[in-house]
Amino acid sequence: MKTGLVLLREQAGHETGSHPENAKRFPGVVERLGNDSREHGLPILDSRPAEVEDLLRAHTESHVENVRVAAESGPTWLDGDTVASPQSYEVALRSAGAALVAADAVSGPDRSADSMFAIVRPPGHHATADRAMGFCLFSNAAVAARYARESLGIDRVAVLDWDVHHGNGTQDILYDDPSVLFVSFHQWPLYPGSGWIDEVGVGEGRGFTVNLPMPPGSGDREHLEGFQAIAGPILDQFDPGLLIVSAGQDGHVADQLASQNLTAAGYGALARASAEFAAGKGIGLVALHEGGYNPETLPLLDHAVYAGLGGFTPDLTGDTPAPEVGDNGWPERLAQIRRAQSVYWPI
């Protein structure tokens, strides 16, 4: 499985100060994954700015303009968590554009890889059609999904989100769209408070949103069981022409913004399962960086994801071990999810 990187070299221009989502997150990641790329002969591509028309496939015109104006006069707080500084609009265009570069690389006429991992900020999965929130300005995954359909001619696109926070923005934009399947693993309860089992889509999109709200303390075993029992079978039946992964590594045991117990090995296993699914379907995979806020552990976690995508053996030395967790209600939760989704999918 040939993978590669898309880098947003201008990421530091999105200045957020001491905010958890800051420019110090990625230098160590870029160094480590760059070494992986050189060792395994994997391509490294640069991002490009998305066009406004690319954003308008997922966002309202007023939202795009509001972000531009806020950045121009910044620093401006768009909500209690989300700031725009003078270069944020241009960086956000390149963050979304990196998703498009990745989509072209794995699904375009000059396909050069099976998967691409885009290391981008600001992240995107909390941005709704008309609102910036949760550190996010534009929904990179939704923009890429609509681009794949309208510019690359892909009939069905799947978005798999394993960030520890629910991807409410991606869900919001795609909620009535039967051509894009949205599957989300996330801790429940946790910010932003959405993503319960009964959120399954509306109108023609009913049944094409799949939420797996994970109990606190869930780790590698629970997430992989959820993939094998729910996400994988539904993805298989949906039969997408492209898989987009919102890859947030903030469910790691050493990340302080949540209370999950995933390890680097777990993230590698999720990435490998996703890559093997895509390879089995003969389709491309685009991984877009979302959360992950511990700069000490993030290079290792992203290395594990990259290795999972590319099928090479990661070096997981130094990972934080997960604690032993008793019964956190996961078997009952899994049964609830299965009952809710069996209305739409024979699982």
Report the alpha-carbon angle 263-166-85, nearest 5.
Answer: 95
Identify the pLDDT of residue 169.
Answer: 98
- Confidence band, pLDDT 50/70/90 cuts, at residue 11: very high
Q: Residues with catalytic annotation?
A: 126
Please say whether the beta carbons of 196 and 211 come within 8 A: yes
Whether 346 is covered by a domain: the verdict is: no
pLDDT for the residue numbered 230: 98
The residue behind tokens 């947003």 is 8
Q: Is the residue at 347 inside a domain?
A: no
Flag whether 61 is in a domain. Answer: yes
Would you say residue 237 lies in a domain? Answer: yes
pLDDT level of residue 303 (50, 70, 90 thresholds): very high
Q: 13 lies in a domain?
A: yes
CATH number at residue 202: 3.40.800.20
Query: d(Cα 163, Cα 160) in Å, to the nearest integer?
Result: 9
Range of the domain at 183: 5-341
Q: Which residue has the tokens 């498009």?
A: 100
Q: What is the pLDDT of residue 201?
A: 98
For residue 326, the model assigns a pLDDT of 87
CB of 77 closer than 8 Å to CB of 132: no
Q: Provide the pLDDT confidence category of residue 1 given band limits of 50, 70 and 90.
A: confident
Do the strands 180-187 and 115-119 form a parallel or antiparallel pair, or are they unpaired? unpaired
Confidence bin at 281 (pLDDT 50/70/90): very high
Is residue 79 in some structural domain? yes
Q: Using 50, 70 and 90 to split pLDDT, how confident is the model at 312?
A: very high
In-domain check, residue 321: yes
User: Looking at the 3D structure of the chain, how many domains does it have?
Assistant: 1
In a domain, 145, yes or no: yes
